[in-house]
């Protein structure tokens, strides 16, 4: 390790938000383990990082949608005591009415956004808990809270990230491990082209620049925030949402039928 920061694993590091986030971590003194599908692109990201930061950068070529690739990354990160952070930024996206969505695209979205995120978190968590320090950063989306037709599987996968992370936050409370959720708005990346819905279809004022998103997310990491909403003007909106959710759960925890359903 180059210093006490340790090594951060960044998935989806071949471009977009992952590459920018990795560069920001390197500037903070983290060594990096970059995960992506293309060695040439990973090498380019590593070269750019090393030009600006004196850190060690390794990489693993793996398709997280495939069982063999995921297992290879799991094995690597579960056995490395130097790893202090996992950044689950890899994302797969589909934009289509569900009835017309191909099974391969559906499976890939679930595999990357849900299965890989969960399995990689499971792989690093024991080591972080044993050392009583570290961070897991999971990228969700505003669509976790705003189900958009034609994004049905993607919406649901990001809602899973929110629920999974929130439960995990309860499990690790007081144990020195940060489980953080970053919830971006629409961001001007290749995500939209991959989905088949160019970003030009969205209102310009609703779209954030990638570097602005990453700068905000990293500032949230610096502060140790459990929830990072880079575009949310008032944090109280989230606090109010949590209170309403808890009130709803309290109302649902009732063994008697509601009056409107009673015989």
Which residue numbers are catalytic? 154
CA atoms within 13 A on the CB side of 179: 24
Helix (H) or strand (E) holding 213, with range, is: helix 210-223
Query: Pairing state of beta strands 83-88 and 134-139?
Result: parallel
CA distance 29 to 25: 7
Nearest alpha carbon to residue 137 among 15, 21, 36: 21
Instruction: Tell me the torsion sign for CA atoms 183, 187, 191, 193.
Output: positive
Identify the residue whose tokens are 């500037």: 27
Query: What is the secondary structure of 35-87 as a DSSP string?
Result: EES-HHHHHHHHHHHHHH----EEEEE--TTSHHHHHHHHHHHHT-TTEEEEE
Which DSSP category does 219 fall into?
H
């Amino acid at each position: 390790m180059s210093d006490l920061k340790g090594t951060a694993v960044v998935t989806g590091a071949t471009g977009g938000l992952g590459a920018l986030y990795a560069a920001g971590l390197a500037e903070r003194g983290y060594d990096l383990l970059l995960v992506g599908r293309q060695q040439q692109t990973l090498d380019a990201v590593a070269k750019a990082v090393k030009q600006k930061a004196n850190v060690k950068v390794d990489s693993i070529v793996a398709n997280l949608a495939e069982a063999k690739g995921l297992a290879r990354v799991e094995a690597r990160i579960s056995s490395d005591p130097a790893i202090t952070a996992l950044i689950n930024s890899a994302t797969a996206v589909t934009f289509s009415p569900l009835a017309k969505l191909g099974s391969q695209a559906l499976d890939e979205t679930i595999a990357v956004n849900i299965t890989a995120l969960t399995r990689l978190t499971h792989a690093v968590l024991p080591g972080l808990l044993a050392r009583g320090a570290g961070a897991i950063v999971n990228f969700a989306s505003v669509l976790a809270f705003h189900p958009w037709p034609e994004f049905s599987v993607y919406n649901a996968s990001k809602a899973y990230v929110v629920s999974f992370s929130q439960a995990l936050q309860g499990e690790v409370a007081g144990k020195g491990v940060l489980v953080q959720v970053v919830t971006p708005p629409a961001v001007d990346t290749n995500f939209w082209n991959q989905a088949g819905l160019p970003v030009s279809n969205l209102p310009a004022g609703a779209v954030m620049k990638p570097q602005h998103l990453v700068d905000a997310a990293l500032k949230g990491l610096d502060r140790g925030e459990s929830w990072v909403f880079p575009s949310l003007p008032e944090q109280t909106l989230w606090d109010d949402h949590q209170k309403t959710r808890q009130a709803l759960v309290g109302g649902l925890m009732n063994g008697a039928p509601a009056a409107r359903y009673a015989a």
